[in-house]
Structure 1
Amino acid sequence: MAASHIPVKRPRTYVLIHGAWHGGWVWKETATELRYMGHEVYTPSLTGLGDRAHLAHEGITLDTHTDDIVNLICMEQLNDVVLVGWSYGGMVVSNVLARIPERIGAVMYFDAFVPESGKCLADYAGEKGRVFRERTWPDQRVPPFPLKAFGVTDEKLCERVQKRLVCQPLQTFLQPSKALAERPAIPHSYVMAAAYDGTPFQQFYDKFNHDPGWSVHTLNTGHLAMLTDPVGTFGLLADVAPGFNHVGYAGEVSRR
């Protein structure tokens, strides 16, 4: 990535949450660029996923993953956190915000689910949501979907990423969210990856596009934007931090 590594005036602390089947590794390039800018960045893998796949068991729920992030933030004594959730990670962001709102300085839903309290991921996933509920899943774990379904067309990238994916604990898709009914008065951003068919995230983009409390953006790429458009991804995440110098990134970014 050709970015100008000019330190920001006010470094921020980022916690980047990955999506289903992935791990913290998916944010590696983005995290590297943010650190070059002087920010502190955490990219944890949720229990049972990524480098913590060996901890998988049937009892893992959305609450488990919420605890992962809450404990990270509290044990590391982080404050004014820029909390970013991608895809399923948006479910986790909403729960974390409800648990420790005093530690969160800004949130970004990056092509992600934004649940209402009492609703689960399956409620927003259309036909896939019905399948999650009705099919019998061995060991209560859902195998990863083909990446082409998410707009990834690069065969080499598909091969490289697919072999790193692991099964997702089923109950993370079915446990209802504990999101706040009224969100705290901190910056909220929504990013939609607009270049693939059948996205379940259009509903959230449409919901927040005319909400003055949200900053809404699109990226002209598929769901794995941090891998297919790393420059645009970095630019949007860095934009959350006041004092960011825009020289050096030029992704295909559309801002409202």
Structure 2
Amino acid sequence: MTAFVLVSGSYTGGSVWQEVAAGLRAAGAEVHPVTLTGMGDSRHLAGPDTGLETHVEDLVQLLDRLETPEVVIVGHDYGIHPVLGAADRRPERIARIVHLDAGIPLDGESVLDLLPDPAIREALVQQAEDGWRIAPPTAAQWPMLGSTAGLTAEALDTLTRQAAPQPLGTLTQPLRLTGAAADVPTSGILCTGNGMSIGMVETVLGMGDPRLQKLVDPRVGFFELATGHWPMLSVPEELTEVLLRAAAGEGHRLAVRTDELPAHLQPFLLDVPELERERVGQVDLYLPEAAAATAGPRPAVVFVHGGPVPAGVQPTPRDWPALVGYARYVASLGAVGVTLDHPLHSLSDYPQSAEAVAAAVELVRADPRVDGERVAVWIFSGGGLLSADWLGAPPQWLRCLALTYPVLAPLPGWGMGETRFRPAAAVASAGRLPVVLTRVELEVAEIAGTVAEFLAAAEAGNADVEVVDVPGGHHGFETIDHTDEARRAVERAVGSVLAHLEG
């Protein structure tokens, strides 16, 4: 017999697992939905000293009591922190660790360390009642912690009613791991409605993120659920089935292909002149050929990569074929093409990246070969959130803003709250700034949702947005989809941007 130990996320107790627990028991499993100290109906047991270590010890004691030889321990959201802590202390008792829409915290990291927005971290600490507990969310606040997609109004009401204050120490105490559980098989269950999918994990893995390399282990299996962050409430039957499959060692296996370049390093879809770059710090300039340069200072297009991109990735984004291809292409047409590196390595880096991009643009504008009054900024993918600053207060010299397969609002699982990096809100202030938006047909659904939100806001605010569609196109299509439709889309987008610079 398999025993499932189910550990839910912040503010919640074992009651959220009611339907899943019933399904697992019906399948013949032993089930232990855990209510950690101070959570759910044990809220009266919490005190100023309740912390992550308290919850780790809760699970260690439970594992010591269990007689079932095979234990699958499931950590949802915050719950993965005490789960990993307990598994590290009792690795011999664990047959499998399941990350249910949860991250991969490392030794020394606290929950607050992993929240991307410093303002949210500070607000949580400041809001702690009596200095040690954080009030549970209201019904309107739950979506800020993770997507509530799939929850009925009744389920959301129950979640709100049963939620308990979260002891601050559970979020501030660092997780302590010795590596003792490193060889325990694991499974990941991703809730696509919360902004993560197997495809997205594989994309980041292909960039060489060392944090994810252990996911290539053949004992690691992945599953997807088309729902929000609370699958035990929104799709309990589907989650039950997936947990049983995970316990059996099933799941999608990730693989790193060593016989070919990763997608982002494949060749650019257009044949462009091999123009040499001129490197200035973190900025590369691709200059027009001499004939165009004699016409005086030229307009410039600054290409801003997406992310987050793991630190240490080589080559860095400014040397990726797609960005270099765009820069050489616009240079061949008479403008200065610019690529750059900026420090978007994690979700907490957007403020630093915004500063770095703004500084790079000013460096380009100050170059005597550039007409500083005719500049376009062209942003890709997860860098799309950086466009909020340019949309919110567009300078006169910014003649065009281009966006390609962009993320235009933080995804639900990113935990960014009411951040300034929300282009879908900022576009109302764009005025007559021309925006050229390249949209791919086969976009990740969650990213496509942010684009739809942006376009609706743009229409309501009479913003000047031109949409360039790529039929059959994928995210990162310039090195994936070498089709006539994709080539025409790039040519049209570049032509439109250059026309705005010349106008």
2:128 alignment partner, one of 122, 137, 155 = 137
1:158 and 2:156 correspond? yes
Tell me by how many angstroms 1:44 deviates.
1.8
Q: Spell out, residue by residue over 1:145-181, the C-alpha distance to the aligned partner (whole angstroms, 9 max, x if none).
A: 3223322253222112211101000010010001244
Taking the TM superposition and a 5 Å limit, the aligned residue runs for 1:217-228 are 217-228=223-234
One of 211, 218, 221 as aligned partner of 2:215: 211
Structure 2 gaps, min length 5: 205-210, 254-503
Higher relative contact order by CA 8 Å / sep ≥ 6: 1 or 2? 1
Do the aligned partners of 1:113 and 1:121 also contact (CA within 8 Å) in 2? no
Q: After TM superposition, list the pairs within 5 Å mapping 1:1-256 onto structure 2.
A: 11-127=1-117, 128-133=120-125, 135-139=126-130, 140-145=132-137, 146-149=141-144, 150-152=146-148, 154-181=152-179, 183-196=181-194, 206=204, 208=212, 211-213=215-217, 214-242=220-248, 255=252
TM-score, normalisation: structure 1 = 0.82
Distance change in 2, residues 1:215/1:152 (3 Å): same
* Change over 3 Å in CA distance of 1:54–1:165 after alignment to 2: same
Letter in 1 for 2:193: A
- What secondary structure, in the 3-state scheme, does the structure 1 residue paired with 2:100 have? strand
SS at match of 1:19: coil
> For the residues of structure 2 that align with 1:33 and 1:18, how far apart are their CA atoms?
17
- My pick for the range that moved more, 180-189 or 225-234, is 180-189
182-191 or 203-212, which deviates more = 203-212
Write the distance in 2 (CA, Å) between the matches of 1:79 and 1:27: 22
Paired letter, 1:142:
I
Q: Please tell me the root mean square deviation across aligned C-alpha atoms, in Å.
A: 2.7
Distance 1:231 1:97, change over 3 A: same
Match of 2:28, SS state, is coil
1:205-239 CA-partner distances (Å, limit 9, x unpaired): 95548822221222111111111111221121011
- Measure, in 1, the Cα distance between the counterparts of 2:37 and 2:10: 11
* Alpha-carbon distance in 2 for matches of 1:20, 1:205: 29
Deviation larger for 231-240 or 166-175: 231-240
Q: Please give the alpha-carbon distance, in whole angstroms, between the structure 1 residues aligned to 2:9 and 2:176.
A: 18
Larger CA deviation: 209-218 vs 30-39: 209-218
C-alpha change, 1:241 and 1:121, in structure 2 (3 Å) is: same
Q: Which amino acid aligns with 2:129?
A: P
Query: Within 2, Cα distance between the matches of 1:116 and 1:224?
Result: 23
Task: Tell me, yes or no, if the aligned pair for 1:190 and 1:205 is still in contact at 8 Å.
Answer: no
**CA 1:63/1:79 → structure 2, altered by over 3 Å: closer, same or farther?**
farther
Q: 1:198 to 1:79 in 2, by over 3 A?
A: closer
Q: Provide closer, same or farther for how the CA distance between residues 112 and 228 of structure 1 changes in structure 2, counting only shifts above 3 A.
A: same
CA distance in 2, matches of 1:71, 1:182: 18
Which is worse superposed, 143-152 or 62-71? Answer: 143-152
Distance in 1 (CA, whole Å) between partners of 2:194 and 2:81 is: 21
Identity, % of aligned pairs? 29
Which runs of 5 or more residues in structure 1 are unaligned? Answer: 1-10, 245-253
